[in-house]
Amino acid sequence: MPATQTIRILVADDEEMMRRLYRQVLEKASGETHGPYELVVCDQGEAAVAAARRAAEEDKAFAIAFLDIRMPPGRGGLWAAEELRALSAATQIVMVTGYSDIDPETIEQRVPPTDRLLYIQKPFHPFEIRQFASTLAARWRMERRIQEMQQGFERLVEARTAALQKAYAELEYRATHDELTGLPNRTTVIETLSKELNRSGRSGRSVAAVMVDIDHFKGINDAHGHLAGDAVRKATAERMRQLLRPYDTIGRFGGEEFLLVIPECGREDALQIAERLRARVADQPVTFEDRVLTVTLSVGVAWLDDARHQDIDTLIAAADRALYRAKDAGRGQYAFFTEDMR
C-alpha cells in the first residue's frame, strides 16, 4: 500500500464547537506521520450513517469514526455505531461521551468486536484526538499492508499450485500417451482393456479387442523416409480415432501396430468396425510434402461375449493371431479369430 494513501475519518457530533475542534486538530495533523486525513464531519447520527453508506457503495470505508454518544434531537452515536459496524467490520470506532452513566459492556455487546471499539470522555485535550487518530491510522495502514501481503502470498501460492498442477498433468499425459500420435500408449490401452474385461466379467456384456497393423510400413520408411513414416502413423491414428464411439479406446501398441478396445460390442458390430477402419484408411491416401501415399491396414478381431474365463493376454494373443491371418491372406483386409488359430 502506498505510504501516501489517504486515511478517511468520520466525525459525528451535535456541538458546533466540537466539530470545529475536530477539524482544527485533524486538519493540522493531516500529512504528519500517518496522514493525510480526509474528514467527513456530521452533526447527527443519521448523517454519519448516510455518509458511511455512500462510502461502502464506493468501496471507500472509513478507517476511523469519532461518534458522540448523544446527539439530540436525532439518533445518537450508539445507533450510528451499530449501523457503521454492519457496513464495515474494519472501521475503528471511537465512542465519545460527556456522560458517566454509559455502560461500556452494553456498548461492547452492541458494537463488536471490542478490539475496534474505543472510548474517550469529554472534556478531553485536543492532543488526545491527535494521538487517537495517529495511532489508529497507523494500525489501519499496517492491517491493510498485512492484508495486501497475505493476498499477494495467496496469489503466489495459487499461481505456483496451478503451475505444479499443469506440470503434473503434462507429466501424466506424457506417461500415458504416445508422443507421436497423441493416442494412449501401450500401457494405458492395456489397462483400459483390463478394466473392460473385469467389467464384462461382472456384467456378462461383450468386449472386443482389435489389433491393427499398417501394411508394408517398412517399405514406406525405406522409400520415403522416417518423417513420411511418422506422417502416415499420425494420419492413420487420427482417421481410426474419428470412427470410434466415445467409449471406445484406441492406443498405440508399438511401432505401426494399434490396439482398439471395443466394449459392449457383438460379433457383427466388431466386424463392421474392422471393415470401416480398413476402408477409411484405404480410401484416404496420406499426403506428405508433394507425395501421395496409399496406406492399407490389416486388422485382427477377437470378440468375447463372455470374458469371465478369459485373461487379457489370451484376448490380445487371439486378436494378434487374427491379425496375422489377415496378413497371410494378402493384407488390406480383416480376419476374425477362430478356434483353429489356437
Cell numbers found for residue 31: 500529512
Q: How far apart (Å, rounded) are the C-alpha atoms in residues 253 and 320?
A: 11
- β strands within the chain, DSSP E: 7-12, 37-42, 64-68, 92-97, 117-121, 207-214, 249-254, 257-263, 286-288, 291-293, 297-304, 334-336
SS3 338: coil
Q: Which amino acid is at 248?
A: D
Single out the catalytic residue among 256, 257, 268, 289. Answer: 256
Residue 15: helix, strand or coil by DSSP? coil
Residue 256 falls in the annotated catalytic set: yes
CB 11 within 8 A of CB 68: no
Residues in CB range of 154: below 8 A, 6 or more apart? none
Active site residues: 256
